[in-house]
Amino acid sequence: MKCPKCGYLGFEDADRCRNCGYEFSLSAPIAVAVPELPLRIDTQEKPLDEVTLPEPSPIERELPLFGSDLQPDDEPLIKHVSAPRTPLAVRRSTPEVPRLRTEQPRAQSLDLAPSDSAPIRSRVQTASAPQPAVQDAGIMSRLLAVAIDLLILGVVDAVVIYFTLRIVGLNVQDLSSLPKGPLIAFLLVQNGGYLVAFTAGGQTLGKMATGIRVVAAEPASTLDVSHALVREATWLLLAAPAGLGFLPALFTRDRRGLHDRLAGTRVVR
């Protein structure tokens, strides 16, 4: 209850205000005017037949829902009845009779398709085509290749010896003071390694410059390190007596020396 004097708000029913002691009976009661709202009751009832629906628009008339040619939804999908099948037990018990082929079997031909016959034809033509003849290298080109190789090896040996003298603190005049055995062994290994490695590959630098190549004499054999080692070792032995060991190569048709025959090699263009 709210006190009209001090405005204190109490939540219990009492005769006096708990804040200021004002008696609630002295104040006149406040009359609240409540408007009366009359109830409107429509006693007139309209029948449902008088309810009119709006007419459909021209677009709605074209829809299947408002069309006149409506199809029934319960129309069966299968209209033609199929013939009854033979029972499963009868089908299993009846043996299958192979059907006869009415068409004639295709004649077997040995003609190959163009895509299949092309590789075979190319292989046959390759096998039957004559291989181009390999020309043996001439004496002058071989001598020029040897001169180029010796020049390259001489320059490399001179550079190695010069830097060796500089490392040990000697001059060129002190070359005789170097130990002969280790120096000769080092030069043999260096020069022989160059010749064997490049010969196993087919060409030294001199042969590359002159356009010649070392190949195996027989087509079935190959040129490997062992054949190159035999060839170069024999070449050094033949070159020792002032190159007289190469004289047989001047009088043979294939220009093969003794070192080529022992190693099974030949020099070609």
CA distances from 18 to 4, 6, 11 (A): 12, 10, 11
The gap from C-alpha 149 to its chain's centroid, in whole angstroms, comes to: 45
Instruction: Check residue 128 and give its pLDDT.
Output: 47
Closest to 243 (Cα-Cα) out of 146, 158, 136: 146
CB neighbours of 210 closer than 8 A, spacing ≥ 6? 141, 142, 144, 145, 148
* Residue-wise pLDDT tens digits, 92-104: 776 666 666 666 6
Q: Is the pLDDT confidence value at 121 over 60?
A: no
Mean pLDDT of 124-147: 72
Mean pLDDT of 247-251: 77
State the pLDDT confidence band at 74, using cuts at 50, 70 and 90: low
* Residue-wise pLDDT tens digits, 149-194: 999 999 998 898 888 888 888 887 877 888 888 888 888 888 888 8
* Domain locations in the chain as residue ranges: 1-30, 139-268
| Partner residues linked to 266 by β-bridges | 215
Going through the chain in order, the beta strands assigned E by DSSP cover 213-216, 265-268
